[in-house]
Chain A
Amino acid sequence: MAEANKVQKIVVDRNLCIGAASCVVMAAGVFELDAENKAVIKQKGVKNSGPAGREELENAAIDDTALVQAAQSCPTKAIFLYPVRTPPTPVGGRDGDSLWECNAPIDQSRSACAYGVYDEAGKQIYP
């Protein structure tokens, strides 16, 4: 039996999104561009940049691989995926720079918020 999907929540950081639309190509059932050229998440009855829970997705059955590929393909790493509906408390961000406060651990090699999927303890599961 296939492993249950881990991604439970998706957020697009609109400050980072530049409308390259790689995510739209990788997961057209989940992402599209809005009138401002920013990626939005297609949810039941609403389209916005999230946070969007898995059950709210129009395509709630989409598998994790497609979502992770979409997040990885983003040329500004603007897509954040979480394994739980309430992400872990913020553990990082650049001091004094609110743009970088996010609910994901800091990836030291990038000196910015990492993208990926994290478990409850903040440990990266994907990629």
Chain B
Amino acid sequence: MREFAYLIVGGGIAGTTAAEVIRQNDTDSTIVIVSDEPHRLYSRIMLSKPNFFLEQIPFDRVWLKPDSWYGDNRITLLAKKKAVLLDAEKKEIKLDDGEVIRYGKLLLALGGCARRWDVPGGDKKGIFYLRTLDDARAIIAAVKSAKHAVCVGGGFVSFEMCEMLRLAGVEVTLALRDSYYWEPILDQPSGAIIETALEKGGVKILRKTEVKEAMGGEGVESILLSSGERIPADMIIVGIGVACPLEWVQMAGIAVNRGILANEYLETNLADVWTAGDAAEFQDVILAERIQLGNWVNAQMQGRRAGFNMVGKKEPFRLVSFYTTQGFGITIAFVGDVRPGADRTVIPRGRAESGSYGRIIVKDGEVIGATLINRTQELAAISKIIEKDISVADREGDLGNSAFNLGDLIHG
């Protein structure tokens, strides 16, 4: 049986960054990364960017480590292998090829999985998800001959895919189940700004739309809506969120909810088992709540922190993370916790009609998150306000006044 001091499940940015940090701090121990993808580390965040898709950025730019990096750093990469069973008592992981590997310390950096589109015909050729490099390759190939595309779902993936498809000259219909874009994370005025930008860019938006079936032969040709309307589609890109099966983790006795539960040190409830990245549902010390985030910086910095913690340089994970995108002439940025909830107040900042509109989310007298449309320049100040737990209990007027400089709250 092979044995490694450090076993990392997941070869994405969280797992690979952890491996890198472990090696920098522990030159002798054995390290293995098990990845269910056939590739070395690549830039997953680049996959949805129109410039990458339309090959304005050379494809090779996607690789973040040369092949030789793993060998040079004595990190074993077991690619195209899936962990299927964990015995935390024996400290063994079983892979889908039957091999059992023993570990000293384990990191579960499993990433996210695209939620499957559960409609009849949903498995036809021409229906794509965007999660892996191979998914992106398949979409790049399909776009070249596509005439009519349908994007399903309103979120970052759809926004970026709509722009990519329009730039490629493809006719695009966006099917939303909700009554506006990004409901209920955004409010209606924010959604409307995004929709206006999409429509100006030539995207046809269908709201409150239920897709009944994906029609066609082997490959998809159209979608049938519950209204009876049929929309032509020679390709469909589905972006309806993430959901991962975690049964094998749970069966090992690890506490899970939507993600793998972890404390502020990214430790799970079992000894010598950590988690990081999109899969981790962790105790956020800044927000003082448990949260699961699916963004690049969070995964990268959690991998870093987990790596340090695994070699004994133990500190809590502290980061205000965010995700930004731009397209159709607008910029969108989400920072911190943007989930709506009864225990939080949303303060609108700026006027939606002006096109530059933010929402600052306050809980227990402190800012915990914000959504910014065409206001990215305020991202730095808001991150600081969240990070420093600055009380804004009596400052709601200032937060809502777009002429007020948010930076003044930090030093004031």
Residues of A within 8 A of B (CB): 15-16, 18-22, 24-25, 28, 32-37, 73, 75-77, 94, 97, 99-100, 109-112
Q: How long is the Cα–Cα vector from A94 to B57 in the complex, in angstroms?
A: 12
Interface pair B300/A22, CB less than 8 Å apart: yes
Contact with A along B346-387 (1 / 0, CB 8 A): 000000000000000000000000000011110110000000
Tell me the minimal C-beta distance from B195 to chain A in angstroms.
Answer: 20
Interface string of B199-211 (1 = CB under 8 A from A): 0000000000000
Contact between chains at B45 and A20 (CB < 8 Å): yes
Task: Write the chain A residue with the least CB distance to B66.
Answer: A109
Interface assignment of B100: CB less than 8 Å from any CB of chain A: no
Report B10-49 residues with CB < 8 Å from chain A CB. Answer: 13, 43-46, 49
User: Do B377 and A35 touch across chains, with their CB atoms under 8 A apart?
Assistant: yes
Nearest A-chain residue to B333, judged by Cβ = A37
* Cβ–Cβ contact A33 & B376, under 8 A: yes
Instruction: Please give me the residue from chain B that is nearest to A97 by CB atom.
Output: B58
B61–A112 CB distance below 8 A:
yes
A112 touches B60 (CB 8 A): yes
Collect the chain B residues with CB atoms within 8 Å of residue A73's CB.
Answer: 300
Q: Does B319 contact A (CB under 8 A)?
A: yes
Stretch from B169-177, B274-282, B320-328 at the A interface = B320-328
Of all chain B residues, the one with the shortest Cβ separation from A108 is B66
Q: Which residue of A lies closest to B380 (CB)?
A: A32
> Given that A22-B296, A75-B45 are known contacts, is A37 also in contact with B376, CB under 8 Å in the complex?
yes
A-B contact count (CB 8 A): 87
Q: Is the CB of B56 within 8 A of A99?
A: yes
List, in ascending order, chain A residues with CB within 8 A of B188's CB.
none
Inter-chain CA distance A44–B153, complex, in Å, is 44
Contact A35 B374 (CB under 8 A): yes
Please give the distance in Å from A27's CB to the nearest CB on chain B.
12
A18 B376 Cβ-Cβ under 8 A: no
Min CB–CB distance A76 → chain B (angstroms):
6
Q: Among the listed B296, B324, B325, B380, which residue makes an inter-chain contact with A75, where contact means beta carbons less than 8 Å apart?
A: B296
A1 to B60, CA, bound (A): 41
CB neighbours of A18 from chain B (8 A): 45-46, 49, 51
Question: Contacts of A100 on B, CB cut-off 8 Å?
Answer: 58
Closest to B49 in A: A18
Are the CB atoms of A24 and B380 closer together than 8 Å?
yes
A25 and B297: CB pair below 8 A? yes
Known interface pairs A20-B324, A36-B331, A76-B61; 11 further A-B residue pairs with C-beta atoms within 8 A, sorted by A's residue number? A18-B46, A19-B325, A33-B333, A33-B376, A34-B376, A34-B377, A35-B331, A35-B377, A37-B376, A75-B43, A76-B43
CA distance A18 to B156 in the complex (A): 13
Question: Is there a chain A Cβ closer than 8 Å to B136's Cβ?
Answer: no
On chain B, the residues within 8 Å of A20 by CB distance are 45, 296-297, 324
A110 near B326 with CB under 8 A, answer: no
Closest 9 CB pairs of A and B: A109-B66, A19-B324, A75-B43, A37-B324, A37-B326, A32-B380, A37-B331, A75-B45, A111-B60
Contact residues, B236-268 vs A (CB, 8 A): none
Q: When chains A and B are docked, how far (Å) is the Cα of A2 from the Cα of B56?
A: 42
Within the assembled complex, what's the spacing in Å between the Cα atoms of A19 and B44? Answer: 14
B60 touching A22 by the CB < 8 A rule? no
